[in-house]
Structure 1
Amino acid sequence: MTIKLPKIGLGTWQLKNKKCQDSVLKALEIGYRLVDTAQMYGNEEQVGNALSEGTVPRNEIFLATKLFVNDLSPKKVAKKTLESLSRLKTEYLDLLYIHWPAGKYNPKKTLSAFETLVDEGKIKHIGISNFTPKLIDEALQVMKKPIFANQVENHPLLKQVPLRQYLKEKEIKLVSYSPLARGNVRGVPELEEIAKNHNTNPFQVSIAWEISKGAIPIPKASSEGHLRNNFDAQFLTLDAEEIQKVDSIQTETRFLNPPFIRPKW
């Protein structure tokens, strides 16, 4: 069954304690229906509290989390997923990601454990994060079930053109983390010019550009103003000339590239 993902979601990296809980609650009130977290973020409990306190039915929310590199052996996959379900106060996850293809990651063993979780009804879809085409090819060779999404850094300063084309051919969704390039889209002349023409800001232009490319951005935000600004970007339509102008930005900068666990980009 194909589930239609919202055009934009809420990222929760670096959101902690009550700030995280309040952000998720406010996001749901605004209209967000995709919420993304990870065990490594240390905020699953707060996300779960917000989902429980909010008025949006669970079946209307697309909930995703991730297992980190030390928890990718078959036994750990099963155990850690149950822990996430408990913290998130839910009986199932819509999407479970392999956070990075490193550490205890073994394509056959890890992905088989993920497929078992699908069979058991604990997760609906299998996700990967920070995977290159080569790593995805290796994964697909040992899988019986499809890969639903690959979550990678993606923004106008890291356009991911070859990867995006590859994912389109494989019918794998691209979920964009750091879609605002850690705030670095501010001041980029091309984005500022387009923003001025639309009486908006470069953050909305960046998100609108990502959506125009078929990606699903998940910007993090905590204030109501930023949450609304990001959410409303999905209603900004860029014309072909404006999309081409963003495409022409020469910069290709990766802002998140941790040693030891990063793949060979």
Structure 2
Amino acid sequence: MPPLELPLGLGTSGLDDPDECTATVTAALEAGYRHVDTAQMYDNEAAVGEGIAAADVDRDDVVVATKVHPENLAPEDVRETARESLDRLGLDRVDLLYVHWPTRAYDAETTLPVFDELRDAGLTDHVGVSNFTPELLREARGILDAPIAAHQVECHPRFQQRELRDLAAEFDHRLVGYSPLARGDLFDDEEFRGVAERADRSPAVLALAWALARGVAPIPKATGDHVGENLGAVDADVEPAVLDEVDALAPGDRRIDPDDAAWSR
């Protein structure tokens, strides 16, 4: 299996209205997106699948990713619910199947071998993890037979994940960045907006272009005109000095920080 190419993607967390979700996925794919991210937790896999089916795009050209809910990470539940996810998506395989959070039913020694099993059975092409600490990431690498293709974490200009970016380069997997616009907080961030204005870029385009330049595949949620605006980050020619200004921003807090997250233990 060749390495997984992960371009800027469409995040679907929060796309709760089925009709809006389906229409957004279809519009994004037809605008040029080739990476769609969903999860059992989002309760929208069926709508995402309908959007993929409706788009005038070859399925094999699209990276489709979903994630197993932390309550479903006991071995038999992984087997059962991964197949249910495929049924909802209307697909016979996904390109990438993640452990969503290493919490609740997650047990590295028993959970991860089932992801290998599903890959061997052809239900997923690649295995990923999400919201892992460096220590848990190293542990997973030691247990899985499959290479970790992607690690998905919160990543944006105010939470830059330098250690995990370095580990992604060392371990040869992609870091996928959710909440790449800090859940919209970057639009009200005066310092970041100042950098964007001096660069003659919108805050969204600058944040996404920064992520791409730093080896992160961002997956912004977007609807309407923002779908096309975000895609413009792919071809944005941002000066290295501007990217350095973003690098130098003071770090902020996580926007997604559940009490049982691995980093809180």
TM over 0.5: yes
SS of equivalent residue, structure 1 residue 207: helix
Deviations along 1:215-257, one digit per CA (max 9) or x if unpaired, are 000000111x100111111111222211110011013210000
SS of equivalent residue, structure 2 residue 125: coil
Distance in 2 separating the partners of 1:134 and 1:261: 13
Equivalent position amino acid for 2:34 in 1: R
1:13 is aligned to 13
User: 4+ runs of 1 displaced by more than 4 Å?
Assistant: none
2:211 is aligned to 210
Deviations along 1:72-100, one digit per CA (max 9) or x if unpaired, are 11111110011011000001010000000
1:71 is aligned to 72
1:2 is aligned to 2
Structure 1 residues 226 and 163: CA distance shift in structure 2, 3 A: same
Q: Tell me, yes or no, if structure 1 residue 232 matches structure 2 residue 229.
A: no
Which shifted more, 172-181 or 48-57?
A: 48-57
2:125 is aligned to 124
- Matches for 1:46-65 after TM superposition, within 5 Å: 46-65=47-66
Distance in 2 separating the partners of 1:143 and 1:121: 16
- Matches for 1:124-143 after TM superposition, within 5 Å: 124-143=125-144
Q: Tell me, yes or no, if structure 1 residue 100 matches structure 2 residue 120.
A: no
Deviations along 1:175-204, one digit per CA (max 9) or x if unpaired, are 000000011112434432332234331111
Identity %: 38
2:178 is aligned to 177
Deviations along 1:154-174, one digit per CA (max 9) or x if unpaired, are 000101111211221111210
Aligned length: 264
Taking only aligned residues, the RMSD between alpha carbons, in angstroms, comes to: 1.4
SS of equivalent residue, structure 1 residue 185: helix
Distance in 1 separating the partners of 2:245 and 2:188: 15
Equivalent position amino acid for 1:137 in 2: R
Equivalent position amino acid for 1:128 in 2: V
* Residue pair 1:37, 1:65 contacting (<8 A) in 2 also: yes
Distance in 1 separating the partners of 2:2 and 2:242: 31
* Residue pair 1:5, 1:34 contacting (<8 A) in 2 also: no
SS of equivalent residue, structure 2 residue 26: helix
SS of equivalent residue, structure 2 residue 149: strand
SS of equivalent residue, structure 2 residue 64: strand
Deviations along 1:136-158, one digit per CA (max 9) or x if unpaired, are 11111212211111100000010
1:256 is aligned to 256
Equivalent position amino acid for 1:12 in 2: T
Distance in 2 separating the partners of 1:251 and 1:74: 38
Structure 1 residues 65 and 42: CA distance shift in structure 2, 3 A: same
Q: CA shift at 1:54, angstroms? A: 1.5
Q: Tell me, yes or no, if structure 1 residue 90 matches structure 2 residue 109.
A: no
- Matches for 1:145-224 after TM superposition, within 5 Å: 145-223=146-224
TM-score (norm 1): 0.96
Q: CA shift at 1:4, angstroms? A: 4.9
SS of equivalent residue, structure 1 residue 254: coil
Q: CA shift at 1:3, angstroms? A: 4.1
Equivalent position amino acid for 1:144 in 2: D
Distance in 2 separating the partners of 1:103 and 1:234: 37
SS of equivalent residue, structure 1 residue 90: coil
Distance in 2 separating the partners of 1:174 and 1:204: 19
Distance in 1 separating the partners of 2:57 and 2:21: 17
TM-score (norm 2): 0.96
SS of equivalent residue, structure 1 residue 238: coil
Q: CA shift at 1:262, angstroms? A: 4.1
Equivalent position amino acid for 1:214 in 2: G
Q: Tell me, yes or no, if structure 1 residue 242 matches structure 2 residue 242.
A: yes
